[in-house]
């Protein structure tokens, strides 16, 4: 329950909505309580006048105006003699008819006002819950953006999505309906019980007796419903994941001819969903009958005990009718106690899950607000790095330096730690030991936003958004820049403009699920265009030319050379052809630098690099001969 305290700051922020909502609840209930009185008075009016008809003694009959009517007459200063000065049976009939119609109209007016204030209640409290839902979602999303890559490795995407959607919806039920029904229960109970006690204390106690039983039984039924519906929801999200995976991997599925087994698996999971749903329907079906049974019991007690009291002359017939309405009015609020309790429990569990993420402090934080100018000198001083989750030592005592405007290439076997160097320069992780300096400053002291906005990073596994090609390339640009021109220039330099212009919608072509699929090489080049569009000071290309042929690679590299002037570039590759033009080449193996120098220096060393060069040359020649 303590988890819900996180929401207090929002409740305080929207305090006026709560105060106004409470005023509307009170107003609505005052009208609700006023209505049964009119029913009582109409009943009493008719029973009393029936007695007079039976005796025919009109002169003895002193017509007492119902309180509700006389109250209105007094309010508008209307004379009441028309109704009270009666001396014939026909006069009495006319007066009773007019008064009954008046009472009916007043009843309708009271109900109308009750409805209007109920509408305002929902407009304040339910809208407040929607506003807090919006704020909370934004708070969680903000926090997601602050958190580091390590967090995303530890938690599944589905879990992140669930906390921002499902869990926030559960919390909203506490902020909206739970608060509204609790306020309503308190106000209505006070008003109704006070009205009932003013009629007869004993009858009130008898009538209220089954209501706590109602609250407790509804609590049990709704807890059972919640448990079962959670199970249904879990199975439903399992089914969605199954379907989503089957369709996104449809090519693999068909290639391996797994349609039949996938279908069987889906049918099995669907059947579990059906069984769970039917179990839910069974308890769901108990909910309304449980309420109706308990209302019925209270009504029977009212009529029986009330009837005995009316015979003894302690109360009137009108009082019984009035009580029956009170009982019906109180039933739903009392039933809602059970429902609200289980809502609050679910909301507390959801908020606890949300808090787990909200209270995580990102390990990598921006050290200062003031922006830094990045020139692009990079130095690794005896850097070692261990991945926090896997414990894998990816870098061992790595030292090197590149001056601003130079090109560093890193080559090495798969898993040798090349991408880890790129990750450290982007400050996705902090070094485990040693120092990483940017422009002679420890990287931890540099403004994180300045650093990242000055790095154009092309990751190994290209990710493009389901958006137009133009928007994908312009992703890192601010809108006040000459975006279109920069996008086209970047596409040209990444040697992808001619491909884009072949599409019917050119740069406005949609990518991803709603659009076309680019080839692996085209994706890499769009990703390069995105990285270079913002003219960053540091460029990192992580094996981003692996999917293009050597001829295209040469064109891209010669285009990039123009952009790379005065920019620090880190080129990661498996291919000697990509790295040979660099000012300095590092050869990595098992996280350590085993060779370094220029292309010519490394060839003359006749070590691993020279061996790799020879091997790749002979492979190329073989391909050409084939």
From the CB of 611, what's the least distance to ligand ATP, in Å? 17
Asked if residue 577 binds ligand ATP (CB under 6 A), the reply is no
- Binds ligand ATP by CB under 6 A, chosen from 13, 64, 130, 153: 153
Closer of 499 and 546 to ligand ATP (Cβ)? 546
CA distance 37 to 191: 13
CA distance 274 to 235: 10
Of residues 188-217, those binding ligand ATP (CB under 6 A) = none
Closer of 470 and 544 to ligand ATP (Cβ)? 544
Whole-number CA gyration radius for the chain: 39
Instruction: Identify which range of 162-170, 311-319, 412-420, 550-558 contacts ligand ATP by CB under 6 A.
Output: 412-420
Quick one: which of 538, 498, 487, 489 has its CA closest to 521? 498
Closer of 203 and 582 to ligand ATP (Cβ)? 582
- Binds ligand ATP by CB under 6 A, chosen from 120, 151, 332, 387: 387
The H-or-E segment that residue 502 falls in is none
From the CB of 424, what's the least distance to ligand ATP, in Å? 10
CA distance 547 to 383: 31
CA distance 249 to 520: 17
Of residues 277-336, those binding ligand ATP (CB under 6 A) = none
Instruction: Identify which range of 251-259, 268-276, 383-391, 480-488 contacts ligand ATP by CB under 6 A.
Output: 383-391
Asked whether the beta carbons of 83 and 65 are under 8 A apart, the reply is yes
What is the number of alpha carbons within 13 Å of residue 365 lying toward its C-beta?
8
From the CB of 413, what's the least distance to ligand ATP, in Å? 7
List the x/- string, 49-68, binding to ligand ATP by CB under 6 A. --------------------
Classified as helix, coil or strand, 289 is helix
Of residues 585-624, those binding ligand ATP (CB under 6 A) = none
Please report the DSSP string for 304-348 in residue order: HHHHHHHHTTSS-HHHHHHHHHHHHHHHHHHHHHHHHHHHHHHHH
The H-or-E segment that residue 352 falls in is helix 317-358
From the CB of 575, what's the least distance to ligand ATP, in Å? 11
Closer of 284 and 589 to ligand ATP (Cβ)? 589
Instruction: Identify which range of 15-23, 293-301, 388-396, 463-471 contacts ligand ATP by CB under 6 A.
Output: 388-396
- Binds ligand ATP by CB under 6 A, chosen from 28, 189, 215, 416: 416
Instruction: Identify which range of 100-108, 179-187, 389-397, 430-438 contacts ligand ATP by CB under 6 A.
Output: 389-397
Asked if residue 417 binds ligand ATP (CB under 6 A), the reply is yes
* φ and ψ at residue 393, rounded to 5 degrees: -85, 105
- Binds ligand ATP by CB under 6 A, chosen from 29, 189, 319, 419: 419
From the CB of 415, what's the least distance to ligand ATP, in Å? 4
The footprint of ligand ATP on this chain (CB under 6 A) covers a number of residues equal to: 16
CA distance 189 to 329: 9
Asked if residue 412 binds ligand ATP (CB under 6 A), the reply is yes
- Binds ligand ATP by CB under 6 A, chosen from 168, 221, 330, 394: 394
- Binds ligand ATP by CB under 6 A, chosen from 249, 367, 405, 415: 415
Query: What's the DSSP call for residue 510?
Result: B
Instruction: Identify which range of 256-264, 337-345, 384-392, 481-489 contacts ligand ATP by CB under 6 A.
Output: 384-392
Residue 303 has a CB neighbour count (10 Å cut-off) of 16
Closer of 303 and 592 to ligand ATP (Cβ)? 592
Asked whether the beta carbons of 413 and 589 are under 8 A apart, the reply is yes
- Binds ligand ATP by CB under 6 A, chosen from 77, 198, 312, 390: 390
- For the beta sheet containing 433-438, the strands, ordered from the edge strand earlier in sequence to the opposite edge, are 393-402, 378-386, 433-438, 441-442
Alpha-carbon dihedral of residues 424, 426, 430, 431, nearest 10 degrees?
20
CA 177 from chain center: how many Å? Answer: 18
CA distance 37 to 115: 17
- Binds ligand ATP by CB under 6 A, chosen from 414, 440, 479, 482: 414
From the CB of 420, what's the least distance to ligand ATP, in Å? 3
Asked if residue 420 binds ligand ATP (CB under 6 A), the reply is yes
CA distance 499 to 484: 17
Angle made by CA atoms 128, 129, 134, in degrees to the nearest 5: 95
From the CB of 594, what's the least distance to ligand ATP, in Å? 13
Asked whether the beta carbons of 426 and 601 are under 8 A apart, the reply is no
Residue count of the chain: 626
CA distance 459 to 570: 12
Alpha-carbon dihedral of residues 103, 104, 108, 111, nearest 10 degrees?
60
Closer of 418 and 599 to ligand ATP (Cβ)? 418
From the CB of 416, what's the least distance to ligand ATP, in Å? 4
Of residues 507-546, those binding ligand ATP (CB under 6 A) = 543
Question: Pairing relation of β-strands 568-573 and 538-542?
Answer: parallel
Of residues 445-464, those binding ligand ATP (CB under 6 A) = 460
Instruction: Identify which range of 118-126, 346-354, 367-375, 409-417 contacts ligand ATP by CB under 6 A.
Output: 409-417
Instruction: Identify which range of 120-128, 213-221, 317-325, 390-398 contacts ligand ATP by CB under 6 A.
Output: 390-398
Residue 413: partners with Cβ closer than 8 Å, 6 or more residues away: 588, 589
Query: What's the DSSP call for residue 626?
Result: -
Closer of 348 and 592 to ligand ATP (Cβ)? 592
Closer of 483 and 592 to ligand ATP (Cβ)? 592
Asked whether the beta carbons of 405 and 567 are under 8 A apart, the reply is yes
Residues that bind ligand ATP (CB under 6 A): 153, 387, 389-390, 392, 394, 412, 414-420, 460, 543
């Amino acid at each position: 329950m303590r988890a819900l305290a996180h929401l207090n700051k929002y409740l305080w922020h929207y305090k006026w909505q709560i105060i106004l909502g409470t005023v509307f609840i009170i107003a609505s209930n005052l009208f609700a309580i006023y209505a049964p009185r009119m029913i009582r008075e109409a009943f009493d009016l008719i029973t009393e006048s029936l007695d007079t008809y039976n005796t025919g003694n009109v002169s003895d009959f002193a017509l007492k105006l119902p309180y509700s009517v006389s109250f209105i007459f007094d309010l508008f200063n209307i004379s009441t003699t028309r109704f009270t000065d009666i001396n014939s049976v026909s006069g009495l009939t006319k007066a009773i008819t007019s008064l009954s119609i008046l009472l009916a109209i007043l009843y309708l007016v009271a109900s109308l006002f009750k409805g209007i204030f109920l509408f305002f209640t929902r407009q304040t409290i339910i809208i407040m819950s929607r506003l807090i839902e919006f704020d909370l979602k934004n708070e969680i999303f903000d926090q997601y953006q602050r958190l580091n890559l390590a967090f995303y490795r530890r938690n599944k995407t589905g879990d992140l999505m669930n906390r921002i959607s499902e869990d926030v919806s559960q919390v909203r039920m506490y902020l909206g309906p739970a608060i509204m029904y609790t306020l309503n229960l308190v106000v209505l109970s006070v008003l109704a019980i006070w009205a009932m006690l003013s009629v007869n204390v004993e009858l009130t106690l008898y009538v209220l007796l089954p209501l706590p039983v109602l609250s407790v039984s509804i609590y049990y039924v709704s807890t059972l419903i919640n448990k079962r519906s959670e199970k249904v929801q879990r199975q439903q999200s399992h089914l969605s994941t199954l379907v989503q995976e089957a369709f996104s991997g449809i090519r693999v599925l068909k290639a391996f001819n797994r349609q039949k087994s996938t279908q069987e698996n889906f049918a099995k999971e669907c059947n579990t969903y059906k069984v769970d749903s039917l179990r839910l329907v069974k308890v769901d079906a108990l909910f309304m009958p449980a309420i109706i049974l308990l209302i019925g019991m209270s009504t029977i007690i009212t009529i029986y005990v009330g009837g005995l009291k009316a015979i003894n002359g302690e109360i009137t017939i009108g009082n019984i009718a009035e009580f029956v309405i009170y009982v019906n009015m109180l039933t739903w609020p009392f039933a809602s106690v059970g429902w609200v309790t289980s809502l609050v429990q679910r909301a507390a569990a959801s908020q606890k899950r949300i808090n787990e993420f909200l209270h995580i402090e990102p390990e990598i934080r921006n050290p200062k607000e003031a922006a830094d100018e990045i020139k692009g000198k990079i130095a690794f001083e005896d850097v070692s790095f261990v991945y926090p989750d896997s414990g894998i030592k990816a870098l061992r005592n790595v030292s090197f330096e590149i001056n601003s405007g130079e090109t560093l290439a890193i080559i090495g076997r798969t898993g040798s730690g090349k991408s880890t160097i790129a990750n450290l320069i982007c400050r996705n992780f902090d070094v485990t030991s040693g120092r990483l300096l940017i422009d002679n400053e420890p990287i931890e002291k540099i403004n994180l936003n300045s650093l990242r906005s000055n790095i154009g990073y092309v990751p190994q596994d290209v990710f493009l958004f389901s958006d137009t090609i133009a928007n994908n390339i312009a992703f890192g640009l601010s809108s006040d820049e000459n975006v279109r021109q920069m996008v086209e220039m970047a596409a040209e330099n990444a040697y992808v403009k001619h491909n884009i212009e072949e599409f019917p919608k050119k740069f406005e072509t949609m990518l991803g699920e709603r659009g076309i699929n680019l080839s692996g090489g085209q994706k890499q080049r769009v990703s390069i265009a995105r990285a270079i569009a913002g003219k960053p000071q540091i460029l990192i290309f992580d094996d981003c030319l692996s999917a293009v042929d050597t001829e295209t690679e040469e064109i891209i590299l010669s285009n990039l050379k123009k952009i790379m002037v005065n920019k620090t570039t880190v080129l990661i590759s498996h291919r000697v052809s990509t790295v040979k033009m660099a000012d300095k080449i590092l050869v990595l193996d098992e996280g350590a630098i085993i060779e370094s120098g220029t292309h010519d220096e490394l060839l003359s060393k006749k070590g691993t690099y020279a061996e790799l060069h020879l091997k790749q040359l002979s492979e190329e020649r073989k391909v050409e001969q084939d």
